[in-house]
């Protein structure tokens, strides 16, 4: 397996999901693919549920990541055909590895999303924007009316 180095910011940009969590289930150790289910503790990008399944190839020779049940990881993944994949070529790593401190420092400079929250959605932004416009309009109307009555 041969990979190019990615900084935390590059890895974040290239990933569809970035989260930390414990391996709850590791299904199979086949050469082609295996699924790993995580209990999510924190999400920085793309994960809004408390559990997520990620796929990886079965061995390190094909850049597969060796996940162990019960171990906590920081996971960077890409979505391919509706499934999330990770490999040794991402910055995915056990949280006990020293280099993960750099990743957490970068990631924590961004807003975190609690699992299940989904972060800000388009609906929330539109609703909040509409409410703000309504509030400003009401204040403007009251000020206009007050001035008119005083005159």
Q: Which residues of 73-84 are buried (b: 16+ CB within 10 A; e: fewer)?
A: bbbbbbeeeeeb
Quote the pLDDT of residue 32: 64
Give the model confidence (pLDDT) of 26-79 as tens digits: 887 555 678 899 999 999 999 999 999 999 876 666 677 888 899 999 999 999
Q: Which residues of 33-45 are buried (b: 16+ CB within 10 A; e: fewer)?
A: ebebbbebebbbb
Tell me the pLDDT band of 130, cut-offs 50, 70 and 90: confident
Give the residue, 114 or 91, on which the prediction is more confident.
91
Quote the pLDDT of residue 93: 92
Quote the pLDDT of residue 46: 92
Strands (E), the chain: 17-27, 34-45, 51-56, 72-80, 83-85, 93-94
Across 9-18, 112-121, 136-145, which has the greatest mean pLDDT? 9-18
Tell me which of 3.30.9.10, 2.60.40.10, 2.40.50.120, 2.40.160.210 is the CATH number of domain 8-107. Answer: 2.40.50.120
Quote the pLDDT of residue 116: 45
């Amino acid at each position: 397996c041969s990979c190019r180095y990615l900084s935390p910011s590059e890895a974040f940009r290239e990933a569809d999901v970035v989260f930390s969590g414990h391996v709850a289930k590791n299904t199979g150790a086949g050469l082609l693919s295996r699924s790993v289910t995580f209990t999510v503790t924190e999400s920085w990008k793309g994960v809004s549920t408390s559990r997520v399944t990620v796929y990886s190839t079965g061995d390190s020779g094909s850049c597969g990541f060796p996940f162990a049940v019960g171990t906590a990881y920081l996971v960077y993944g890409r979505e391919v055909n509706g499934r999330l994949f990770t490999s040794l070529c991402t910055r995915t790593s056990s949280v006990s590895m020293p280099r993960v401190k750099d990743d957490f420092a970068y990631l924590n400079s961004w807003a975190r999303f609690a699992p299940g929250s989904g972060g800000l959605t388009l609906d929330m932004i539109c609703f909040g924007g509409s409410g703000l416009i309504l509030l400003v309009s009401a204040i403007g109307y009251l000020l206009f009316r007050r001035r008119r009555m005083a005159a």
